[in-house]
Structure 1
């Protein structure tokens, strides 16, 4: 696989993680770069591992992965996004003070996993093409790391502008990502 193809694939695989990271950044009280880098690491590692999993599944599980990946991603993002919207609607006006300074591991791992499920199918597809998966997975992971770290900081700016509804906005973004994944897969069928 040539460098340009790898770079474009890595960029495409990390765009949904970027949008989720913006939502995560809006839900925090002025996130610092250390939290942005931590979030980027969690998302990036997951995004790098999932094409390897897809590669390992290979031809035997290709049909199963393609059949269910979009439903799994949609459900996870719908539940997490709905939870964020519900929490934003229940918060009082002074919710800015109540925002956490960092997310727990699982609040990052779930959307990190959900936005990386499509990379399993990419890994399976690359197995068909006999592509060396290691540099591709590393490129996807590093690009996701960088885009998510920036996304969290973009969310910081949006959080200051939008106020208490930022967590709800993040929830809407996650549900939108899930719906886009579902639409893309069902529209292709």
Structure 2
């Protein structure tokens, strides 16, 4: 997985956090940089942490399943992406909550980063090669940092957009994120069969 693919993956993963951030921005009457940064730090921090945990869990068993690892990556990314697309097409309205308390933010950060845990397992199954001068663990750490920073920025933007525009872009962002993740899964599978 190249740097460009990691950035695309980061954007795709951050769409759940973006959608929740839009809801936060909608619910909070007065937005300032601190409010945006609190959301960004919660969501970005967990989006950094979860792939690392997933990688460490996945690295323990990847040696036993090397022949099917592209399939695992494809299935995980497709399931995550499919779920995001399903949520984007759902007519069910999410209830906006204006609290930035630890309990609420922790719960939301976990909920929006579970898919990043699965992506971390995918990192253990595919070659993450941002820099050929560093090893697998450091490449995965760098990929996780990119995911965390991307999510931080997109979450901050989401809070502001939610405050200004409301829920207009929430579903479109989730749909785009789901499509990106499915496309990355397909690309991994096609590379496995030397089609691309």
Report the TM-score, using the length of structure 1 for normalisation: 0.70
Could you list the runs of 5+ residues in structure 2 that have no partner in the other structure? 26-34, 99-104
8 Å contact from structure 2 (residues 12, 181) kept in 1: no
Could you list the runs of 5+ residues in structure 1 that have no partner in the other structure? 1-7
1:18, 1:82 → 2: CA distance? Answer: 18
Instruction: Tell me the secondary structure at the aligned position of residue 32 of structure 1.
Output: helix
Shift of 1:74: 0.9
8 Å contact from structure 1 (residues 22, 153) kept in 2: no
Report the TM-score, using the length of structure 2 for normalisation: 0.68
Q: What is the aligned residue count?
A: 172
Give 1:99's aligned residue: 96
Shift of 1:180: 0.9
Shift of 1:154: 2.6
CA distance 1:178–1:22, change in 2 (3 Å): closer
Work out which of the residue numbers 7, 19, 24 in structure 2 matches 1:29.
Answer: 24
1:56, 1:117 → 2: CA distance? Answer: 10
> Which of 27-36 and 153-162 deviates more?
153-162
1:104, 1:154 → 2: CA distance? Answer: 17
Structure with greater helix percent:
1
Give 1:4's aligned residue: none
In the TM superposition, 1:123-142 aligns within 5 A as: 132-142=135-145
